[in-house]
């Protein structure tokens, strides 16, 4: 009778397999720009090759307002890169290498993730090549306020994981056990808080738009949400048990002006049911700018109807 496999051995094989597959496709970025009148490195981060013709995916806050930099790969190759586009509201940016790159990573679908699932973070923290940490999915559908200069952005629908992240991990890959990239790590909320922008239908639309136009016209509502169960009586009435609760309303935002409040359970937006953050996020594109948006929430045991008018998100450069 064969001896039973040690679970830690199986765990190690998964992590080392993901690392072996993805490390070649993850670059360390040296972001160049001007500081005190001199041109040089103004920041570092990571990026993931996702096409065979040299496009890499990273965080918008990694590249900042810079237009160029240097990408270094695990095999020692260094190439210049050019920023193609950035979208601060999703914290995603696309850059293109000026030379050849390793084969692209395989993109997965974060909508298939479940809480407790093993994930592996691969990046180049603080310019050090080949950092790998592992953990589990701690939460899905999170929203976080993130400071960008004097403006607070709400990054929607993020993945929370206990895989350790450092600032230089931002822009690196979060992968499942099959080495598919399901998220782009972001340390924008602070050191040690494991968060990743999901790879799914909504972010795929963002990336496609960045590749085509270099920017994404976004509508801004000004709320952060979190997944929440629907109270039993309401669930029986509306026919669903999952929803999202507003946990933050940006002062002076369209949501604030409309009368939305922290604690509101979002029931419908534009007449459509809301069961997750994506249902709201999918509406926040150009076609929603300055258009009245009916929103129904559940507050203190009663339905509350408001009309919000999202504005165009400025300062996307």
Span 150-188, pLDDT tens digits: 455 667 788 999 888 776 788 999 999 999 999 999 876
248 is known as an active-site residue: no
Q: Are 61 and 52 in contact (CB under 8 A)?
A: no
Catalytic, 91? Answer: yes
Residue-by-residue pLDDT tens, the chain, 317 positions: 455 667 778 889 999 999 999 999 999 999 998 877 788 888 889 999 999 999 999 999 899 999 999 999 988 899 999 999 998 878 899 999 999 999 999 999 999 999 999 999 999 866 566 789 999 999 887 776 665 554 556 677 889 998 887 767 889 999 999 999 999 998 765 545 688 999 998 899 899 999 999 988 888 899 988 889 999 999 999 999 988 999 999 999 999 999 999 999 999 999 999 988 778 878 888 889 999 999 999 999 999 999 999 998 775 54
**Catalytic residue, candidates 25, 87, 90, 91:** 91
CATH of the domain at 231: 2.30.42.10
- How many domains does the chain fold into? 3
Do residues 225 and 190 both lie within one domain? no
169 and 227 share a domain?
A: no
Together in a domain, 114 and 162: yes
pLDDT per position as a tens digit, 288-298: 999 999 999 99
Instruction: Copy the structure tokens of residue 311.
Output: 């504005």
List, in sequence order, every beta strand (DSSP E) within the chain.
Answer: 26-35, 38-49, 55-58, 68-72, 78-87, 92-97, 118-123, 131-148, 151-161, 173-175, 181-186, 194-198, 219-220, 223-229, 242-249, 265-269, 272-273, 293-299, 302-308, 311-312
**Chain length of the chain:** 317
Q: Pick the closest to residue 54 from 31, 80, 36, 76 (CA basis).
A: 80
Residue 151, domain member (yes or no)? yes
How far is residue 83's CA from residue 60's CA, in Å, rounded to a whole number? 10
- Do 188 and 254 belong together in one domain? no
**What is the CATH number for 134?**
2.40.10.10
Co-location of 192 and 256 in the same domain: no
Cα dihedral sign, 250-251-252-258: positive
Report d(CA 138, CA 159) in Å as an integer: 8
- Which residue out of 170, 248, 253, 264 is catalytically annotated? 170
Same domain, 205 and 226: no
Q: Residue 128: how many CB atoms within 10 A of its CB?
A: 12
Give the domain-ending residue among 97, 122, 142.
97
194 and 262 inside one domain: no
Same domain, 158 and 195: yes
In the listed set 97, 120, 140, which residue is the last one of a domain according to the structure?
97
pLDDT tens-place string over residues 190-208:
545 688 999 998 899 899 9
Picking from 179, 212, 245, the residue at the C-terminal end of a domain is: 212
- Would residue 302 count as lying in a domain? yes
Q: How far apart are CA 273 and CA 280, in angstroms?
A: 10
- Domain of 89? 7-97
Whether 104 is covered by a domain: the verdict is: no
Same domain, 208 and 114: yes
Residue 53: how many CB atoms within 10 A of its CB?
Answer: 10
Let me know: does 104 contact 25? Beta carbons within 8 Å. yes
Catalytic site residue from 61, 87, 131, 179 = 61
């Amino acid at each position: 009778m064969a001896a039973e496999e040690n679970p830690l051995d199986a765990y190690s094989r998964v992590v080392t397999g993901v690392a072996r597959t993805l490390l070649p496709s993850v670059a360390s970025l040296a972001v160049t720009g001007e500081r005190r009148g001199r041109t040089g490195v103004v920041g570092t981060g990571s990026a993931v090759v996702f096409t065979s013709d040299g496009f890499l995916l990273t965080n918008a806050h990694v590249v900042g307002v810079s237009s160029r930099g240097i990408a270094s790969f695990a095999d020692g190759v260094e190439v210049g890169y050019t920023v193609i586009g950035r979208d601060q509201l999703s914290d995603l940016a696309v850059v293109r290498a000026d030379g050849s790159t390793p084969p692209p990573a395989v993109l997965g679908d974060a909508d298939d993730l479940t809480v407790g699932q093993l994930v592996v973070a691969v990046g180049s923290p603080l310019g050090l090549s080949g950092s790998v940490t592992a953990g589990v999915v701690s939460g899905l559908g999170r929203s976080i306020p993130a400071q960008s200069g004097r403006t607070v952005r709400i990054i929607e629908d993020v993945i929370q994981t206990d895989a350790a992240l450092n600032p230089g991990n931002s822009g690196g890959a979060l992968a499942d056990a099959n080495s598919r990239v399901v998220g782009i790590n972001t340390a924008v909320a602070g050191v040690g808080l494991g968060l990743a922008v999901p790879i799914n239908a909504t972010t795929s639309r963002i990336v496609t738009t960045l590749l085509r136009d270099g920017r994404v016209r976004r509508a801004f509502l000004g709320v952060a949400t979190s997944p929440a169960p629907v109270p039993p009586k309401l669930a029986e009435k509306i026919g669903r048990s999952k929803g999202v609760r507003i946990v933050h309303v940006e002062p002076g935002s369209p949501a604030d002006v409309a009368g939305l409040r922290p604690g509101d359970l979002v029931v419908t937006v534009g007449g459509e049911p809301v069961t997750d953050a994506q249902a709201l996020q999918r509406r926040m594109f150009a076609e929603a700018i300055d258009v009245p948006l009916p929103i129904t929430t559940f507050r203190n045991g009663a339905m509350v109807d408001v009309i919000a008018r999202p504005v165009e998100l400025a300062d996307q450069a």
